Structure 1
Amino acid sequence: MDGTMTNSWTIEDSKKLYRIQDWGTPYFSINDKGNIVVFPQGDSQVSLDLFDLVKSLEKRNIKPPLIIRFPEILSDRINRLNKCFETAIKRYGYQGTYQGVYPIKCNPHRHLVENVVQFGQPYNFGLEVGSKPELMIALAVLDNPKTYQKEDSKPLLICNGYKDQEYIETALLAQCLGKQSVIVIEQLSELSLALEISKRLEIFPVLGIRAKLNTKGCGHWENSTGERAKFGLTIPQIMEAINLLKKENRLSCLQLLHFHIGSQISSITTIKDAIREATQIYIQLVKLGASMGYLDVGGGLGVDYDGSKTNSPASKNYNMQNYANDIVAEVKEVCEGENIAMPVLISESGRSIASHQSILIFDVLSTSNCATINLKSPCQDDQLIVHDIWEIYQSISIDNYQESYHDAIQFKEEAISLFNLGHLSLLERAKIENIYWACCSNILEIIQHQNEIPEDLEDLEKSLSSVYHINLSIFQSAPDTWAIKQLFPILPIHRLNEKPTKKAILADLTCDSDGKIDHFIDFRKVKNFLELHSLETNDPDSTFSNSHSLNSLAKLPKYYIGMFLVGAYQEVMGNLHNLFGDTNLVHIIMTSNSYHIEQFIKGDTMIEVLQSLDYNAHELLEQIRLCSEKALQDKKITFAQLQLLRQNYEQSLSGYTYHAVD
């Protein structure tokens, strides 16, 4: 199954295998050394060898697992989005403007949000919040409007989510600070509360309404949209809101229509249908007397995780310019036909803005597989069943491989039954299972060269995949791979000028059977393994079989894997399963001839994780001291052992929650 490494393998083969040119352009590629190279400024030729960067960070004691952020990629994404809308507006003669906002929920980390505000200043790029904590962030981070280039407008602060009195009061009072806050009504009860508070504070509110469209999204979030969506008002409820605003003489407060048809919209047709429906609602609100001026198309601008450019859940069949063109063209056509002023267009494209700038880097700790170990022919004293399955192994050919497979399964199952009845020794069972897996390996080698694979052999390749144990918690750093089977590009960041000889799944550090990744991107489909390189070495002093221990791997060059496009949602949605905390994080900025580390945020220590769960480090240390002293008195532990225990305990508390194998 493993094959042999040949000199004919090139980096072009790796580009094709891992599809990096499809999902990675213009930010990621492979250089002549076989390492991933990053272009933080997009189309610029300024680049950085990712493997060299990781090794340099390790010398600074910044070890994997770690997240590497490139703020310049974030800047480029914001520039591209605004330029696409600018191009579309000019192309179609749209008599309005575009003002995007970044949804803080997508990735609320301080340095990232501050960068979004900084990079968005030339475009009056604002923020969207969906909770009171996010509102607190936005009020503090959004700069004074005087610093923005366009004097006739301010960055928007779109206030979504459930709202209580304190939320609405704060959002209204933000206007007194010069913020252009818009309170989007998600439920009818919020409208009554907002009107009551605005009267008491004597502040004229700028209100929006979130509409539940009939148009549904597609992909993972399809069921969160449509008439049964969690947020928003139905058409009858919108009419109730209009009547209440008229009654209170506050219809002029209604200035924005908002809708959201789900995250990661893979089909441009869905977007066009939603825009057309929403624009008709907008037109009707204008005709009813509302002082409309903004149309917020929500999120949904997808990321092409697998590079297939299709409407699969992990891709999208449009690009950013197509997205802007269709929104602008649809809104213009409807408004022009009704002789209605064209609104300011708003999008909340968090995923598309934040995904590309973060890379998750982790190392491999060990490998294991079920393939044969020290395969030997049967001894004369072995029972007949051992000889029978050995005969199957020796006779496998292209003419009988399917029959041989079923025979091998039968003998293996018989062996387990005999073992359970006490009629087969442990050594004999081990021999039979080794021979069984050798049969499977030979059969797999045959079917890989066939035009069609028999249905009963389709899962054989997955069964024979190696397991690469990685220094990572899936639940902390890539929760969507577990929760919704989200696909991310995953590949080695070096050795890409070598042929990968292993097919593997990735298993994390947690003692949870779900803590693994066994679904990877492929062209228009999902594959159940990832092609990786062998960790073995030609060092005659190192002995490796099919299972490598942590101690033996310390002799090997480290093997690094990167998970790309993880900047949206993953960092904030992670959890402390098995108490693995946040990873190390660095921000890298390019210089004229190299790079510098703009920010380093140290990953959680064990003390920090334990304290978050209400453990006290001093109390824990004291308990260990008392317990060890008693053990010393009872002569159950030596003084040297006691000292080592205390030293390890104290050092562990202040250490990284992940493995640190040098």
Structure 2
Amino acid sequence: MNTKYIDLINQTFDFPQEEFKLEEKQLQFHDIDLMGLVETYGAPLKFTYLPQISNNINKAKGWFAKAIKNNKYKGKYHYCYCTKSSHFKHVLNEALKNDIHIETSSAFDIDIVENLKKEGKITDETFVISNGFKRAQYVTNIARLINNGHKNAIPIIDNYEEIDLLSQEIEGKFNVGIRIASEEEPKFEFYTSRLGIGYKNIVPFYKNQIQNNKKVKLKMLHFFINTGIRDNAYYWNELQKCLKVYTSLRKICPSLDSLNIGGGFPIKNSLAFEFDYEYMVDEIINQIKLACEEEEVPVPNIFTEFGSFTVGESGGAIYEVLYQKQQNDREKWNMINSSFITTLPDTWAINKRFILLPINRWNDTYERVLLGGLTCDSDDYYNSEQHMNAIYLPKYNKEKPLYLGFFNTGAYQETIGGFGGLQHCLIPSPKHVLIDKDDEGNITTSLFSEQQKSEDLLKILGYQN
């Protein structure tokens, strides 16, 4: 009988996969010995596999290079990393090895940019695309960056007042972009994004505030879809509307030479995940070229802003199953030694699913379970995978520890969870380990942060000086 966990996986998916395989009946992720990681650092722990950041950047750059060549597209391509996905220095250091650019979303982002410039990681030639609703400190920081000589800084205008606010603090001429307020998917509670300026209002806005303004030059139109780049009618329809705005604007604005198709690629969230990235890139380039040819305007340079795609697939979390509670005839709760709310907040906040696999015991029989976190909150649980309506794991055995891995968790979880701060029910943040490769290609590990101690939390709460 095929009753082992490995049998379940083999029957359900193509396995092994590019990043997952078994070695001596234990799971490996990009050739990382995960049980060895647990034996060295303990669990719970989080890890970041830095080489995957460069891998994904170069995959995307390759897709765009191929599409530009195949379509004989005359514009250039620029890859931007959205810092909001993960602001950590080790992430930026790895990403910036690959000749990329930066997208910012708040005032303190500019401080990070200036720090990177001091260290020589970026230069004045690096594009810094500044999105977000801008008020005092953000405007001041953008102005300081431009006034200090960073001419490739492009603030993206989000509302009608921002040009005046920027003009008051920026010395001399500066470039801007305009963000389109795209229409949201039908399932949203509102029709139009709160960010940017409406399709119909962009050309009048340009004529009123930019066309005759000798200080300001429009360089970029920014198109962002909240749900990201998807092969569906909604995405293609919004792209077509965006291209109508671009071609109309380009006819009266010769300085407009760039189109930013922000809104990222999806990342793998299941062993059954399928997405034809190469086709999507080729079709986007093709649609842009066709629209420009039809309206007889030059094609734009293409910018993308990939955050989750850049860093998401580099991250993982490992937990130990502490105990199993049989709450009724059907429901078995495997209790992990951490909290989903605090360490993977997207599972709680937006019902996001990550790849979940056991690290060990793949040759044991399996059972259907629910996963519970340590907090006393009824929402601290994880109950299903996207490919099925339940979780199946090796059977709980008090004498045989079971370790679970959640994968592709590298985007947003630390910032949303409040890294280094208070956690729900004062559950401590786990250790965080950085994983890299040396010049010979050998896996190396280093401890980035220790698990929080009670003193750390008591100090934040005011109980200790």
2:10 is aligned with 1:27: no
1:166-205 matches, cutoff 5 A: 166-175=137-146, 176-178=148-150, 180-198=152-170, 201-202=171-172, 204-205=173-174
1:384-463 matches, cutoff 5 A: 437=329
Q: Is the 8 A contact 2:176 2:216 kept in 1?
A: no
User: Greater shift after overlay, 184-193 or 568-577?
Assistant: 568-577
Equivalent in the alignment of 2:392:
531
The 2-side partners of 1:88 and 1:169 are apart by 39
| Cα distance, 1:582 vs structure 2 | 2.3
Instruction: Select which of 73, 81, 84 maps to 2:63.
Output: 84
The 1-side partners of 2:301 and 2:211 are apart by 27
Query: CA 1:223–1:7 in structure 2 vs 1: closer, same or farther (change >3 Å)?
Result: closer
The 1-side partners of 2:82 and 2:371 are apart by 31
Equivalent in the alignment of 1:605:
453
Equivalent in the alignment of 2:109:
134
Equivalent in the alignment of 1:546:
none
Identify the structure with bigger relative contact order (alpha carbons < 8 Å, sequence gap 6+). 2
2:424 is aligned with 1:577: yes
Q: Is the 8 A contact 2:96 2:122 kept in 1?
A: no
| Cα distance, 1:485 vs structure 2 | 1.3
Query: CA 1:325–1:342 in structure 2 vs 1: closer, same or farther (change >3 Å)?
Result: same
Q: Percent identity between the aligned chains?
A: 23
Equivalent in the alignment of 1:159:
130
Query: What is the number of equivalent residue pairs in this alignment?
Result: 459
2:143 is aligned with 1:300: no
- The secondary structure found in structure 2 opposite 1:586 is strand
The 2-side partners of 1:361 and 1:331 are apart by 43
Equivalent in the alignment of 2:365:
499
The 2-side partners of 1:126 and 1:593 are apart by 27
- The secondary structure found in structure 2 opposite 1:558 is coil
2:436 is aligned with 1:589: yes
The 2-side partners of 1:98 and 1:12 are apart by 44
Query: CA 1:191–1:87 in structure 2 vs 1: closer, same or farther (change >3 Å)?
Result: same
Q: One-letter code of the match for 1:28?
A: F
The 2-side partners of 1:243 and 1:208 are apart by 14
Instruction: Select which of 323, 334, 354 maps to 2:280.
Output: 323
- The secondary structure found in structure 2 opposite 1:211 is strand
Query: CA 1:10–1:223 in structure 2 vs 1: closer, same or farther (change >3 Å)?
Result: closer
Instruction: Select which of 39, 54, 59 maps to 2:38.
Output: 54
Equivalent in the alignment of 1:558:
401
- The secondary structure found in structure 2 opposite 1:585 is strand
Q: Is the 8 A contact 1:182 1:208 kept in 2?
A: yes
The 2-side partners of 1:579 and 1:239 are apart by 52
The 1-side partners of 2:214 and 2:294 are apart by 28
Q: Which of these two proteins has the greater Rg computed from alpha carbons?
A: 1
2:181 is aligned with 1:212: yes
Q: Is the 8 A contact 1:362 1:471 kept in 2?
A: yes
- The secondary structure found in structure 1 opposite 2:76 is coil
The 1-side partners of 2:307 and 2:323 are apart by 36
2:238 is aligned with 1:274: yes
Deviations 1:425-471 (A, max 9, x none): xxxxxxxxxxxx4xxxxxxxxxxxxxxxxxxxxxxxxxx13100101
Equivalent in the alignment of 1:544:
none
Query: CA 1:566–1:136 in structure 2 vs 1: closer, same or farther (change >3 Å)?
Result: same
The 1-side partners of 2:307 and 2:234 are apart by 19
Q: One-letter code of the match for 1:324?
A: V
Q: TM-score, normalised by structure 2?
A: 0.91
The 2-side partners of 1:477 and 1:217 are apart by 29
Q: Is the 8 A contact 1:473 1:510 kept in 2?
A: yes
Q: Is the 8 A contact 1:366 1:470 kept in 2?
A: yes
Query: CA 1:15–1:138 in structure 2 vs 1: closer, same or farther (change >3 Å)?
Result: farther
Q: Is the 8 A contact 2:270 2:354 kept in 1?
A: yes
The 2-side partners of 1:597 and 1:246 are apart by 51
The 2-side partners of 1:108 and 1:82 are apart by 22
2:188 is aligned with 1:223: yes
User: Greater shift after overlay, 248-257 or 86-95?
Assistant: 248-257
Equivalent in the alignment of 2:90:
111
| Cα distance, 1:559 vs structure 2 | 1.2
Instruction: Select which of 252, 256, 262 maps to 2:220.
Output: 256
Equivalent in the alignment of 2:352:
486
Q: Any gaps of 5 or more consecutive residues in structure 2?
A: none
| Cα distance, 1:208 vs structure 2 | 0.5
Q: Any gaps of 5 or more consecutive residues in structure 1?
A: 1-5, 40-46, 310-316, 372-436, 438-463, 537-552, 618-662
The 1-side partners of 2:433 and 2:26 are apart by 20
Q: Is the 8 A contact 1:581 1:605 kept in 2?
A: yes
Q: Is the 8 A contact 1:14 1:497 kept in 2?
A: no
Q: Greater helix share, 1 or 2?
A: 1
| Cα distance, 1:491 vs structure 2 | 1.7
The 1-side partners of 2:291 and 2:189 are apart by 27
Q: One-letter code of the match for 1:583?
A: P
Q: Is the 8 A contact 2:317 2:409 kept in 1?
A: yes
CA RMSD of aligned residues (A): 2.6
Equivalent in the alignment of 2:46:
67
- The secondary structure found in structure 2 opposite 1:347 is strand
Q: Greater strand share, 1 or 2?
A: 2
The 2-side partners of 1:485 and 1:246 are apart by 42
Query: CA 1:329–1:323 in structure 2 vs 1: closer, same or farther (change >3 Å)?
Result: same
2:342 is aligned with 1:367: no
Q: One-letter code of the match for 1:162?
A: F
The 2-side partners of 1:299 and 1:599 are apart by 33
Q: One-letter code of the match for 1:75?
A: S
